Structure 1
Amino acid sequence: MTVVRSVALFVLAALFEIGGAWLVWQGVREHRGWVWVGAGVIALGLYGVVATWQHDAHFGRILAAYGGVFVAGSIAWGMVADGYRPDRYDVVGALVCLAGMAVIMYAPRGH
């Protein structure tokens, strides 16, 4: 699996997970209704499916690496969907998380 395909899968997974959680939030916290919650649950399920498409066979490694994508993606989602303005510490933290994701997923391993 190429790094580009793997990163694309992480981005797709982030869209489903963060988007799904946002839909549930909107349905419950913003009182938009159960249709929003249901759509969020479906999106969250699709996140789980997309995560299985990563080449690496280790669930823990995939989920740990995805954590870095989730952190950065959540900040980006907040900026687009909610007008959130990250400060420099948010940005630095997200970059650290993405660096950790790259080490976990793409470091050379002898197997």
Structure 2
Amino acid sequence: MKVVYSVFLFVVAGLCEIGGGYLVWLWLREQKPWWFGAIGGIILFLYGVIATLQSANFGRVYAAYGGIFIIMAILWGWKVDGFVPDRYDIIGGIVALIGMGIIMYAPRN
């Protein structure tokens, strides 16, 4: 159950980071209204708060989060931006996810 909760936190944090960053991107790069950037900034702040709910130390959480972020960024690009991932995107994402699992959930003494 701890692993399920931890993965849930990683996914929620990933949605906040990618979603908030995307709103800032739209504001600055696509000339959307200023409040896109403001809402994006608030969501990015929530990402930082959600990450603190993990039980591991800061370095381990942020190292492991990188694997989740890679997978979520590939999925976001595919579903939101219409960028179709190729086999190297998929292979790289799988490798990152395996690394994330080892960093975060490997048994330790």
TM-score range, shorter chain: over 0.9
- What TM-score, normalized to structure 2? 0.97
- Superposed CA deviations along residues 37-75 of structure 1, whole A, max 9, x for unmatched, are 01110010000000000011x101100000011111001
RMSD, matched Cα: 0.8
2:80 alignment partner, SS class: helix
Mapping for residues 62-73 of structure 1, pairs under 5 Å: 62-73=61-72
- What TM-score, normalized to structure 1? 0.96
Q: Which runs of 5+ in 2 are unaligned?
A: none
The size of the alignment, in residue pairs, is 109
Counterpart residue number, 1:4: 4
CA shift for structure 1 position 33: 1.9
CA distance in 2, matches of 1:26, 1:81: 13
Counterpart residue number, 2:79: 80
Counterpart residue number, 2:102: 103
CA distance in 1, matches of 2:63, 2:47: 15
Counterpart residue number, 1:45: 45
Identity %: 55
Q: Which runs of 5+ in 1 are unaligned?
A: none
CA distance in 2, matches of 1:33, 1:67: 30
